Amino acid sequence: MSCAQTIADYAFRSLGYGERLLPRSDFTLCQQFTLIGSGMIWNVYFGVLALLAGFALATVLALGKASSRAVLRKPAEWFVFLFRGSPLFIQFFFAYFLFQSLSSGYPMLSGLTSAWAGALVVLFFNTSAYSAEIFYGALQSIPKGDTEAADAYGLSGWSRFRRVIWPTMLRLAWPAYTNEAIFLFHATTLVFVSGFPAIQQRGDALYYASYFADKTFNPFVPYPILAGYFIVLTLIVITLFNAINRRLNRHLPSDARRRVKYRPQLVR
Amino acid sequence: MFAYCTDPASLDGLAWLSCYLTTGKHMNFYWSFGTVLLLLAITAPTALLFGYAGASAARSTLAPLRWFGQIYMAIVRSVPDIVFFLFFVIALDQGIEYLRHVTLCPDWDQPVRQGNDFVVCTAAKMPLGNAPQWMHEIYGAGLAVLTFALVFGAFAANVLFGAMRAVPRAQLETAEAYGMTRRQVTRRVLVPQMWVYALPGLSNLWMVLIKATPLLFLLGVEDIVYWARELGGTKSPRFTDYPHGDWRVYYFGFLLLFYLAFTKVSEVVLSRLMARLTLGQATAGGEAQRKAA
């Protein structure tokens, strides 16, 4: 079977299109590249959507946490502590079983027991909590002069937030937020090894990589391929976030701009 | 466990629960918390050791050793953690068996990799095929600890490398001026002083390490995740005296609480340790303490 044929068969296997049966023997390098790459679609899907939605919730949570009103502060603090203080792996398990028992009572929630929705919700909450902590830290370190200047110009309420507080917060938080984004993409690999099942073997990149590693009993091919894909993904994320960082800091002289520094962490 | 537990079907309420929570399997569940804490207690110092070795290698004057240290720090940090966990466990296992194969069976002429199989001679199997069950478990746990230590060692190496560079240069120069050798400077001045700079990074790493422990489950250790899945699943009256529905959500809720509590306790202890270490140091933290006193 030629490589083009393999790509045609398996490129969208993770979404359920193409050849139904996974290769069972005589694994070629092309098959491994194609299937693991096909799985990356899920990693990108989870990462991008959770990041976009998480950004909005994180801003709200950070403002809540910085609020002087306990009604707003306490829930935000608890939310952040809950999701930052426990392992994501356990959160996936817990959420899966929680959604399962909920869906027996409320049939409309049954979509949440499948990974595309349920795991996305968990990742969304998780990245919101981590980003909220970063944004909160940035809010705390906004230079006093900036807010005083905003007051002096007669800005208040929404326009003060929109024109001064928020842009400055983003500017300060951006290098750390870039790391959070990378970290989130890495965390998407946990989805299918936790509670969420890969229905009809539609899994993410790690799912297929471990499939090959189990079948061939040779970890030295699929995992480096997976690692390669992730390094490329990481580079793309860094490039995008660097572009945004330049845009955020475009009013500053070039040597005063804070550079995005890649400081990855692991497991959350 | 209790005398009244002989006939669970006749019990209800708290009495039933007290019997249910003290069955043999639940005892295994409680013990598995001990297993996790034990593995954590072994892994943390091992990872620190790997980290120290990595950081020292990266600072070495010998170029190949320095490259080795730097590559170790760079590679492990740029790929998703879990990939490494899954990779190293098989790779280490095969590596050990291959080495034993080469030394123990020199006259073996077939290739080790035959298609989809990894074949070594019987004498090279780790642990040996006729070894008791506990040997297999210990070996599995040992591999898991080594994997964790390798991955976290790279992170610790990075933290310690930064901390070693953060020790004020003047301190080291003073030590050199007193005629200390490079080794003496390292042992008497650099290492004692680097901890205060390393601690924020190391405590962060500790938190991350705590949160990585459920991944032991993926490495085949019978840990708390394993038992929570096992015990929480639906039990039919045919196989057990304590039938119940799907309770996994409660078990995992309990694990969630366990980790939250563990994180909180660690935070408190580490902040105390930090206060202790900054005492009298020429850092912003030490200065703040001096002013407060």
- Please give the domain boundaries of chain B with CATH numbers for all domains: 3-292 (1.10.3720.10)
| Gap between the terminal Cα atoms of chain A | 41
Give the nearest partner residue to A190 out of B82, B248, B252, using CB atoms. B82
Put simply, the answer to whether B83 touches A189 (Cβ < 8 Å) is yes
Tokens of A80: 């952040």
Closest residue in B to A97 (Cα) is B249
Per residue, the 3-state secondary structure of B57-111, as one string, reads HHHCCCHHHHHHHHHHHHHHHCCCHHHHHHHHHHHHHHHHHHHHHHHHCCCCCCC
Closest residue in B to A234 (Cα) is B78
Along the 293 residues of chain B, how does pLDDT read in single tens digits?
677 777 777 777 787 888 888 888 888 889 889 888 998 999 999 999 999 999 989 888 888 889 988 888 777 666 777 888 888 888 888 888 888 888 887 777 777 777 667 777 777 777 776 778 888 888 888 888 888 888 888 888 888 888 888 888 888 899 999 999 988 998 998 988 888 888 888 888 888 888 888 888 888 777 888 888 888 888 877 777 777 878 888 899 999 999 999 999 998 998 888 888 777 776 667 777 788 87
Domain harbouring A230, CATH code: 1.10.3720.10
- Cβ neighbour number for residue B132 with a 10 Å cutoff: 10
CB pairs under 8 A between A and B: 120
d(CA A255, CA A180): 24
Q: What is the pLDDT of residue A92?
A: 92
In a domain? residue A249: yes
Q: Strand (E) positions, chain B? A: 113-114, 117-118
Judging contacts by C-beta atoms under 8 Å, the chain A residues touching residue B256 are 86, 90-91, 94
Stretch A15-22: mean pLDDT? 84
For the four alpha carbons of A138, A144, A149 and A152, in that order, the dihedral sign comes to: positive
Tokens of B177: 């001026």
d(CA A209, CA A221): 9
d(CA B225, CA B116): 31
Closest C-alpha among B225, B232, B241, B194 to residue B9: B241
Put simply, the answer to whether A266 touches B87 (Cβ < 8 Å) is no
Tokens of A181: 């984004």
- pLDDT tier at A266 (50, 70, 90 boundaries)? very low
d(CA A10, CA A212): 14
d(CA A101, CA B246): 8
For the four alpha carbons of A111, A117, A122 and A124, in that order, the dihedral sign comes to: negative
Q: Does any CB of chain B come closer than 8 Å to the CB of residue A100? A: yes
If you write DSSP's letter for every residue of chain A in order, what string do you get? --HHHHHHHHTTGGGT-S-SSPP-SS--HHHHHHHHHHHHHHHHHHHHHHHHHHHHHHHHHHHHHH-S-HHHHHHHHHHHHHHHHS-HHHHHHHHHHHHHHHHHH-GGGGGGGSHHHHHHHHHHHHHHHHHHHHHHHHHHTS-HHHHHHHHHTT--HHHHIIIIIHHHHHHHHHHHHHHHHHHHHHHGGGGGGTTS--GGG---HHHHHHHHHHHHS-TTTHHHHHHHHHHHHHHHHHHHHHHHHHHHTTTS-GGGSPPP--------
Q: Which domain holds residue A188?
A: 27-256
CA dihedral B182, B187, B192, B194 (to 10 degrees): 50
- Cβ neighbour number for residue A79 with a 10 Å cutoff: 18
Q: How far is A53 from chain B (nearest CA, A)?
A: 22
* Helices B24-59, B224-232: crossing angle, 10 deg rounding: 150
**CB B52, CB A208: distance < 8 Å:** no
In a domain? residue A250: yes
Is residue A263 predicted with pLDDT exceeding 60? Answer: no
Query: Which phi and psi angles does A196 have, rounded to 5°?
Result: -70, 125
d(CA B146, CA B292): 44
Is residue A50 predicted with pLDDT exceeding 90? Answer: yes
In a domain? residue A69: yes
d(CA B186, CA B59): 11
Judging contacts by C-beta atoms under 8 Å, the chain B residues touching residue A25 are 116
Put simply, the answer to whether B246 touches A223 (Cβ < 8 Å) is no
Q: How far is A19 from chain B (nearest CA, A)?
A: 22
Q: What is the pLDDT of residue A259?
A: 61
Q: Above 0.95 for ipTM, yes or no?
A: no
Q: What is the pLDDT of residue A254?
A: 66
Q: What is the pLDDT of residue B49?
A: 94
Give the nearest partner residue to B260 out of A85, A234, A265, using CB atoms. A85
Burial class of A238 by CB neighbour count within 10 A (0 to 12, 13 to 18, 19+): middle
Q: What is the DSSP letter of B126?
A: S
Is residue A262 predicted with pLDDT exceeding 60? Answer: no
Q: What is the pLDDT of residue B44?
A: 92
In a domain? residue A135: yes
In a domain? residue A50: yes
In a domain? residue A262: no
Put simply, the answer to whether A230 touches B155 (Cβ < 8 Å) is no
Put simply, the answer to whether A90 touches B80 (Cβ < 8 Å) is no
pLDDT digits (tens, 9 = 90+) for A230-260: 888 988 998 899 899 889 888 877 666 666 5
Tokens of B276: 């202790």
Mutate which of B33, B83, B206 to disrupt the A interface (most A C-beta within 10 Å)? B83
Is residue A268 predicted with pLDDT exceeding 60? Answer: no
Is residue A265 predicted with pLDDT exceeding 60? Answer: no
Judging contacts by C-beta atoms under 8 Å, the chain A residues touching residue B153 are none
Put simply, the answer to whether A25 touches B116 (Cβ < 8 Å) is yes
Tokens of A248: 């955020």
Q: What is the pLDDT of residue A267?
A: 47
Cβ neighbours of residue A82 closer than 8 Å, sequence gap 6 or more: A129, B260
User: Who wins on pLDDT, B280 or A138?
Assistant: A138
- pLDDT tier at A21 (50, 70, 90 boundaries)? confident
In a domain? residue A14: no
Segment 26-85 of chain A within 8 Å of chain B by CB? 27, 81-82, 85
d(CA B225, CA B244): 19
Put simply, the answer to whether B83 touches A223 (Cβ < 8 Å) is yes
In a domain? residue A209: yes
Mutate which of A36, A81, A84, A97 to disrupt the B interface (most B C-beta within 10 Å)? A97
* Helices B284-292, B248-278: crossing angle, 10 deg rounding: 80
The continuous run of DSSP H or E covering B232 comes out as: helix B224-232
Percent residues over pLDDT 70 in chain A: 94
Q: What is the pLDDT of residue B106?
A: 77
Burial B171-200 (b: 16+ CB within 10 A, else e): ebeebeeeebeeeebbeebbeebbebbbbe
Query: Which phi and psi angles does A27 have, rounded to 5°?
Result: -70, 130
Q: What is the pLDDT of residue A125?
A: 96
The continuous run of DSSP H or E covering B144 comes out as: helix B133-166
Put simply, the answer to whether A89 touches B91 (Cβ < 8 Å) is no
Cβ neighbours of residue B230 closer than 8 Å, sequence gap 6 or more: B25
Judging contacts by C-beta atoms under 8 Å, the chain B residues touching residue A91 are 256
Closest residue in A to B90 (Cα) is A219
d(CA B267, CA B274): 10
Our count of domains for chain A comes to 1
